[in-house]
Amino acid sequence: MTNEEKNTALYEKVFAEQETYRKWLLEQPPEEILKHSYEYVVREDILLSLEYHDLTNAQAEALLKSPGPLGEIFKEFEQRETDYMDTVFDTVVCRADAAIKADARQKPTVLPGMDGGKEHSRSPVKDGDRSRTAQKPRPSVRENLQKAAAKQAPGTEKKKKLEREAR
């Protein structure tokens, strides 16, 4: 068997295993289906990864010997430490920051402490408006700290995102 044939045989075996699992899952009551939804999705992702990547001959052969390679791969995946939750929270933070920025662009900016404590507001910058009062507000203390932290310890994607957002 060629490498391509071994990988195809493995894919077909894993696909059949997932189909059997799917049929079983669909016969379960809704609450049981929800309990297994994470497993189903990860198994689908495993199947997808095998569709787009080839294993070596030895790797494909080793998995082909297993009566249930997909279930075994899923069990191993469950035991791994991943940064999935960090990625989820980073997405939450990025979305919240984007919402804050969008909100700020739509509302007038209030400038406290001018004219004896009276507050003035200015409208957001409009295209073509280059007056001093229409300029972009100065970065906040938080943004400056984020920029400084990103410059001191560059390299992580999260810090790069914060630096881009602070600009």
The CA–CA distances, whole Å, from 40 to 9, 16, 74, 86 equal 21, 14, 10, 22
Q: Which amino acid is located at 167 in the chain?
A: R
pLDDT of residue 134: 46
Q: If residue 89 lies in a helix (H) or strand (E), which one and from where to where?
A: helix 84-106
pLDDT of residue 107: 77
Q: Which amino acid is located at 9 in the chain?
A: A
Listed as ranges, residues in the chain with pLDDT below 50 are 119-123, 125, 127, 129-135, 154, 156, 159
Quote the tokens at residue 164.
Answer: 């881009």
Q: Which single residue is written with the structure tokens 């209030």? A: 110
For the stretch 112-135, pLDDT in tens is: 665 555 544 444 545 454 444 444
Beta bridge partners of 118: 114
Residue spans per domain, the chain: 3-79, 87-128, 137-167
Nearest-angstrom CA–CA distance, 124 and 114 = 18
DSSP state of 28: S
pTM over 0.85: no
End-to-end CA distance of the chain: 56
